[in-house]
Chain A
Amino acid sequence: MPTSHTSKVYEHELRTLREKLLLMGSLVEEMIQKGLTALSTRDTGLAKATIRLDRRINRLECEVDELCMRILATRQPVASDLRFVTTALKIVTDLERIGDLVVNICERVEELNEEPPLAPAAELPSLAEESSAVVHDALDALVARDVERARQLLVRDDVIDEHYTKIFQQVLEIMSRDPSTVYRATRIQSIAKYLERIADHAMNIAESVVFLVKGTDIRHSNRLRESDPLTPSPQGRLRVR
Chain B
Amino acid sequence: MSLIDSDRPEEAPPAAKIVVTRLNAYFHKFHAIHDITLSIPGARVTAVIGPSGCGKSTFLRCLNRMHEHVPGATAKGSVVLDGVDVYDPAVDPVRLRRRVGMVFQKANPFPTMSIRENVLAGHKLNGTRLKDPAALVEKTLRHVALWDEVKDKLDQSGMSLSGGQQQRLCIARVLAVEPEVILLDEPCSALDPIATARIEELIDELKERYTLVLVTHNMQQAARVSDYTAFFYMGDLVEFDRTGTIFTNPKESKTEDYVTGKFG
A residues apposed to B, CB below 8 Å: 1-7, 10, 75-83, 214-215
Chain A residue contacts of B249, Cβ below 8 A:
79, 83, 214-215
Contact assessment for B220 and A76 in the assembled complex, using a CB-CB cutoff below 8 Å: yes
Contact assessment for B263 and A79 in the assembled complex, using a CB-CB cutoff below 8 Å: no
Stretch binding the partner chain, chosen from B29-37, B98-106, B253-261: B253-261
Contact assessment for A82 and B262 in the assembled complex, using a CB-CB cutoff below 8 Å: no
B77 beta carbon closer than 8 Å to chain A: no
Contact assessment for B248 and A83 in the assembled complex, using a CB-CB cutoff below 8 Å: yes
Name the contact of A2 in the complex, choosing from B248, B250, B259, B262 (C-beta under 8 A).
B262
Distance (Å) between the CB of A241 and the closest chain B CB?
A: 50
Interface of B is mostly: helix
Bound-state Cα–Cα, A3 to B262, Å:
7
- In the complex, per-residue mask of B206-226: 1 if CB is within 8 Å of any chain A CB, else 0: 000000000000011001000
Chain A residue contacts of B261, Cβ below 8 A:
5-7, 10, 75
Contact assessment for A215 and B248 in the assembled complex, using a CB-CB cutoff below 8 Å: yes
B residues apposed to A, CB below 8 Å: 219-220, 223, 247-250, 253-257, 259-264
Distance (Å) between the CB of A89 and the closest chain B CB?
A: 15
Contact assessment for A78 and B263 in the assembled complex, using a CB-CB cutoff below 8 Å: no
Contact assessment for A81 and B253 in the assembled complex, using a CB-CB cutoff below 8 Å: no
Contact assessment for B257 and A78 in the assembled complex, using a CB-CB cutoff below 8 Å: no
Distance (Å) between the CB of B211 and the closest chain A CB?
A: 25
| Residues A78 and B260 in contact in the complex (CB < 8 Å), given A1-B253, A215-B249 | yes
Contact assessment for A80 and B260 in the assembled complex, using a CB-CB cutoff below 8 Å: yes
Distance (Å) between the CB of A137 and the closest chain B CB?
A: 25
Contact assessment for B219 and A6 in the assembled complex, using a CB-CB cutoff below 8 Å: no
| Residues A6 and B263 in contact in the complex (CB < 8 Å), given A76-B220, A78-B219, A80-B256 | yes
Bound-state Cα–Cα, A7 to B250, Å:
21
Bound-state Cα–Cα, A20 to B110, Å:
57
Contact assessment for B263 and A2 in the assembled complex, using a CB-CB cutoff below 8 Å: yes
Bound-state Cα–Cα, A4 to B262, Å:
6
Bound-state Cα–Cα, A4 to B260, Å:
10
Chain A residue contacts of B255, Cβ below 8 A:
79
Distance (Å) between the CB of A178 and the closest chain B CB?
A: 56
Chain B residue contacts of A6, Cβ below 8 A:
261-264
Q: Mind listing 13 A-B residue pairs with CB under 8 Å?
A: A1-B254, A2-B263, A6-B264, A79-B247, A79-B255, A79-B256, A79-B259, A80-B260, A81-B260, A82-B247, A82-B248, A214-B249, A215-B248
Distance (Å) between the CB of A218 and the closest chain B CB?
A: 14
Most buried by A among B248, B253, B255, B263: B248
Other than A2-B263, A79-B259, A80-B260, give 17 A-B pairs with Cβ distance below 8 A: A1-B253, A2-B262, A3-B262, A5-B261, A6-B262, A7-B261, A76-B220, A77-B260, A78-B260, A79-B247, A79-B255, A79-B256, A79-B260, A81-B260, A82-B247, A83-B248, A215-B249
Chain A residue contacts of B259, Cβ below 8 A:
78-79
| Residues A79 and B262 in contact in the complex (CB < 8 Å), given A1-B257, A2-B257 | no
| Residues A78 and B223 in contact in the complex (CB < 8 Å), given A5-B261, A6-B263, A215-B248 | yes
Chain B residue contacts of A79, Cβ below 8 A:
247-250, 255-256, 259-260
Distance (Å) between the CB of A106 and the closest chain B CB?
A: 40
Chain B residue contacts of A78, Cβ below 8 A:
219, 223, 247-248, 259-260
The 5 closest A-B pairs by CB, nearest first: A215-B249, A2-B262, A78-B247, A78-B259, A81-B260
Chain B residue contacts of A83, Cβ below 8 A:
248-249
Chain B residue contacts of A3, Cβ below 8 A:
262
Chain A residue contacts of B264, Cβ below 8 A:
6
Chain A residue contacts of B219, Cβ below 8 A:
78
Most buried by B among A2, A10, A76, A214: A2
Distance (Å) between the CB of B224 and the closest chain A CB?
A: 10
Bound-state Cα–Cα, A121 to B128, Å:
92
Bound-state Cα–Cα, A5 to B248, Å:
17
Identify the closest chain A residue to B219 (Cβ).
A78
Bound-state Cα–Cα, A208 to B113, Å:
59
Identify the closest chain B residue to A75 (Cβ).
B261
Bound-state Cα–Cα, A2 to B247, Å:
18
Bound-state Cα–Cα, A76 to B254, Å:
19
Distance (Å) between the CB of A209 and the closest chain B CB?
A: 15
Distance (Å) between the CB of A201 and the closest chain B CB?
A: 25
Bound-state Cα–Cα, A214 to B253, Å:
13
Bound-state Cα–Cα, A6 to B259, Å:
11
Chain A residue contacts of B262, Cβ below 8 A:
2-6
Distance (Å) between the CB of A208 and the closest chain B CB?
A: 15
Most buried by A among B247, B250, B260: B260
